[in-house]
Chains A and B, each alone.
Chain A
């Protein structure tokens, strides 16, 4: 962890996107921000100001386009976090041809937080770790 990443990790702006789902994950994350371990994380509504794109919910064709646009507007370095089962692999809702895709089919994902709903601490730690590790992209294996 370089000193710059250390500083970056102390001020993280998160842009939450609910791509289509029950909103449980985003709410859980908002509640988590009140914990002491979530120091330095702020929410923003503006992709220009965001460091981390926090995506939750099932991604359909319509929201996929918007996700791409939002991702392009974020200044780099930037990270994408897939939160919850829906965004990670679309588990329950993903049929053969129903147009539901996972986040890694659309954007380069830096981290996954699984669970329905994921735990508060897991989400916070993931977001902070992604930034601390210098926005490294997740690779299988």
Chain B
């Protein structure tokens, strides 16, 4: 087992344990920041360097299994102490299965417990850069937040520990090769999210939200299926699934899909999201990004080969489900005014995009990995911006940002440039690439949903942009309130975001040179696909790149002119606009149509149909 891989997965946990020794305060924060940067550096090293066998360290599988058992028992004890009895019952079941089956029965196998493939590496780099740039911002924000709330230091510690554990869990999920591994890292993620949520909620009972229970139930089903899979294939490793199943392959595929969806909380229903994301903006951003976007895509990419040989009905339904998540996320970002909720909606949409394209073919898998990585980096950048804004101005209402280009011109420029970059992919490259993908293009409903989501997301971003660039009267921000750390991090993060967006095309090229790890995926027109004209094609400056650079130059010119020639008012009349009725993008929908309800009905019925079709394939 590669030492670096182990470092990525286990490093944060070790650091977590060390961090408990450091007293809460500046030292602790710096320690977390350093570990986030270390995580990033390691991930980049892993991405760039070929797999080295220099530092090999063999960990027997029994150790991993014992860790898994320990985790399950920890959850059991913790849930009993917290009086979450349903969870404790579930955790008990998991522990029993683990102890009886995994530790007593399952043999040692030759496959490493954790190792990265190319997709995993790209997503890991994306996730680690998010933590490296975003975590410092979050920590500074949280310091102020907790000092205002007069919270005890324990809570701040909890969040920091949660973030570290989240990193480890994500790295593990991207690297896990077996069902046991996925279970273990999902449980870590559960603990991390639980830790973070606990720090922000007053009543303890409330944290056992429906989602957490459902998540644990899903993981229990997951655990229970391991003996079944072992019986069929003689192994609990994901790659072995291809061999052992005949007709029941459909059930396994659908189960993997459903569990990923549930564990990632990717259900287009506002009630579920609200439960989960009622925490401050940056923290909810980190959770959404890692738990709902990057991890599910990373896991589903592993199962991609299961879906290629399936019948069309299941694939169609699954793709429709993915595009429903897209449309749902876009809709909920439409109806919200809070910046964090809008971004979460867009993130959900991006996750739906990943799920829609992940199964279809090898070509679209490239797209999925690239797009998911790039869009999550861009959205995290926006998350960082609104975190800083909330830190300084105390609000994250989109309508309150109208004065931004006078108060903080660089921030307004960064935000609008990032938004425009985010738009380029959907508007030009993305739809074009989706149309070339066989299964998606053969599926009118999902394509319509996808287009709807694109349109809504771009409308939301436009609304935001038009507020960002609109005029305000006077500066109300004291420049001292802007900490120096932000001044350093924000431009760095911006440069990184732009670089990631511009090298979007190069990611395809990088992939094209790689041998395809799972040979069963169809890749018929991979050459055409990677040669597709795109906006952001670094190696071959097409019209798109010129166009993108042109837009940014025009934007920068506008800002420059504003700063340089922005004279005093010539107009002496009443310039303060009255508070005006806010036009929602959905205000035209008649009152008797409830899109939220329609979305809920749609996902429930779709889930039921998918389950029904999957079960009918058993016979």
Direct interface between A and B, CB < 8 A: yes
Q: Which A positions have Cβ atoms within 8 angstroms of B? A: 68-69, 72-73
Q: Distance (Å) between the CB of A48 and the closest chain B CB? A: 12
Q: Contact string, B553-576, partner A, CB cutoff 8 A, digits 1/0?
A: 000000000000000000111100
Of the A-B pairs whose beta carbons lie under 8 Å apart in the complex, a sample of 8, sorted by A's number, is A68-B573, A69-B573, A69-B574, A72-B571, A72-B572, A72-B573, A73-B571, A73-B573
Q: Which residue of A lies closest to B570 (CB)?
A: A72
Q: Contact string, B431-457, partner A, CB cutoff 8 A, digits 1/0?
A: 000000000000000000000000000
Q: Which residue of A lies closest to B571 (CB)?
A: A72
User: CA separation between A59 and B510, bound complex, in Å?
Assistant: 75
Q: Contact string, B444-475, partner A, CB cutoff 8 A, digits 1/0?
A: 00000000000000000000000000000000
User: CA separation between A7 and B326, bound complex, in Å?
Assistant: 53
**Most chain A beta carbons < 10 A, residue from B571, B572, B573, B574:** B573
User: CA separation between A68 and B573, bound complex, in Å?
Assistant: 9
Task: Give B288-314 interface residues, CB cut-off 8 Å to A.
Answer: none
Q: Tell me if B's interface is mostly helix, strand, loop or mixed.
A: loop
Q: Distance (Å) between the CB of B596 and the closest chain A CB? A: 38
User: CA separation between A73 and B573, bound complex, in Å?
Assistant: 8
Q: Which residues of A have CB within 8 Å of B573? A: 68-69, 72-73
Q: Which residues of A have CB within 8 Å of B571? A: 72-73
Top 8 A-B residue pairs of the complex, sorted by shortest distance between their CB atoms: A72-B573, A69-B573, A72-B571, A69-B574, A72-B572, A73-B573, A68-B573, A73-B571
Q: Which residues of B have CB within 8 Å of A73? A: 571, 573
Q: Distance (Å) between the CB of B317 and the closest chain A CB? A: 52
Q: Which residues of B have CB within 8 Å of A72? A: 571-573
Q: Tell me if A's interface is mostly helix, strand, loop or mixed.
A: helix
B: contact size bracket: under 10
Q: Which residues of B have CB within 8 Å of A68? A: 573
Q: Distance (Å) between the CB of A76 and the closest chain B CB? A: 11
User: CA separation between A69 and B573, bound complex, in Å?
Assistant: 6
Q: Distance (Å) between the CB of B578 and the closest chain A CB? A: 13
Q: Which residue of B lies closest to A70 (CB)?
A: B573
Q: Contact string, B566-606, partner A, CB cutoff 8 A, digits 1/0?
A: 00000111100000000000000000000000000000000
Q: Distance (Å) between the CB of B570 and the closest chain A CB? A: 9
User: CA separation between A88 and B571, bound complex, in Å?
Assistant: 27
Q: Distance (Å) between the CB of B572 and the closest chain A CB? A: 7
The tally of CB-CB contacts under 8 A between chains A and B is 8
Q: Which residue of B lies closest to A72 (CB)?
A: B573
Q: Distance (Å) between the CB of A72 and the closest chain B CB? A: 5
Q: Which residue of A lies closest to B574 (CB)?
A: A69
A sample of 6 more A-B contacts (CB under 8 A), given A68-B573, A73-B573, is A69-B573, A69-B574, A72-B571, A72-B572, A72-B573, A73-B571
Q: Which residues of A have CB within 8 Å of B572? A: 72
User: CA separation between A72 and B572, bound complex, in Å?
Assistant: 8
Q: Which residue of B lies closest to A73 (CB)?
A: B573
Q: Which residue of B lies closest to A69 (CB)?
A: B573
Q: Which residue of A lies closest to B572 (CB)?
A: A72
Q: Which residues of A have CB within 8 Å of B574? A: 69
User: CA separation between A92 and B573, bound complex, in Å?
Assistant: 32
Q: Which residues of B have CB within 8 Å of A69? A: 573-574
User: CA separation between A135 and B572, bound complex, in Å?
Assistant: 23
User: CA separation between A68 and B571, bound complex, in Å?
Assistant: 12
Q: Which residue of B lies closest to A71 (CB)?
A: B573
User: CA separation between A73 and B575, bound complex, in Å?
Assistant: 11
User: CA separation between A69 and B574, bound complex, in Å?
Assistant: 8
Q: Distance (Å) between the CB of B575 and the closest chain A CB? A: 11
User: CA separation between A68 and B574, bound complex, in Å?
Assistant: 11
Q: Which residue of B lies closest to A68 (CB)?
A: B573
User: CA separation between A73 and B574, bound complex, in Å?
Assistant: 10
Q: Distance (Å) between the CB of B568 and the closest chain A CB? A: 15
Q: Distance (Å) between the CB of B346 and the closest chain A CB? A: 35
Task: Give B192-211 interface residues, CB cut-off 8 Å to A.
Answer: none
User: CA separation between A38 and B571, bound complex, in Å?
Assistant: 33
User: CA separation between A68 and B572, bound complex, in Å?
Assistant: 11
Q: Distance (Å) between the CB of A102 and the closest chain B CB? A: 22
User: CA separation between A85 and B574, bound complex, in Å?
Assistant: 30
User: CA separation between A69 and B571, bound complex, in Å?
Assistant: 10
Q: Distance (Å) between the CB of B271 and the closest chain A CB? A: 45
Q: Distance (Å) between the CB of A15 and the closest chain B CB? A: 16
User: CA separation between A138 and B574, bound complex, in Å?
Assistant: 28
Q: Distance (Å) between the CB of A96 and the closest chain B CB? A: 31
Q: Distance (Å) between the CB of B571 and the closest chain A CB? A: 6
User: CA separation between A73 and B572, bound complex, in Å?
Assistant: 10
Q: Distance (Å) between the CB of A101 and the closest chain B CB? A: 19
User: CA separation between A73 and B571, bound complex, in Å?
Assistant: 8
Q: Distance (Å) between the CB of B175 and the closest chain A CB? A: 61
User: CA separation between A72 and B573, bound complex, in Å?
Assistant: 7
Q: Distance (Å) between the CB of B153 and the closest chain A CB? A: 57
Q: Contact string, B334-356, partner A, CB cutoff 8 A, digits 1/0?
A: 00000000000000000000000
User: CA separation between A28 and B572, bound complex, in Å?
Assistant: 34
User: CA separation between A105 and B379, bound complex, in Å?
Assistant: 58
**Most chain B beta carbons < 10 A, residue from A68, A72, A73:** A72
User: CA separation between A12 and B89, bound complex, in Å?
Assistant: 81
Q: Distance (Å) between the CB of A75 and the closest chain B CB? A: 11
User: CA separation between A140 and B398, bound complex, in Å?
Assistant: 55
Q: Distance (Å) between the CB of B238 and the closest chain A CB? A: 64
Q: Distance (Å) between the CB of A133 and the closest chain B CB? A: 26
Task: Give B371-403 interface residues, CB cut-off 8 Å to A.
Answer: none
Q: Distance (Å) between the CB of A74 and the closest chain B CB? A: 11
Q: Contact string, B494-507, partner A, CB cutoff 8 A, digits 1/0?
A: 00000000000000
User: CA separation between A109 and B614, bound complex, in Å?
Assistant: 81
Q: Distance (Å) between the CB of B573 and the closest chain A CB? A: 5
Q: Distance (Å) between the CB of A77 and the closest chain B CB? A: 16
User: CA separation between A74 and B573, bound complex, in Å?
Assistant: 12
User: CA separation between A69 and B576, bound complex, in Å?
Assistant: 13
Q: Distance (Å) between the CB of A43 and the closest chain B CB? A: 23
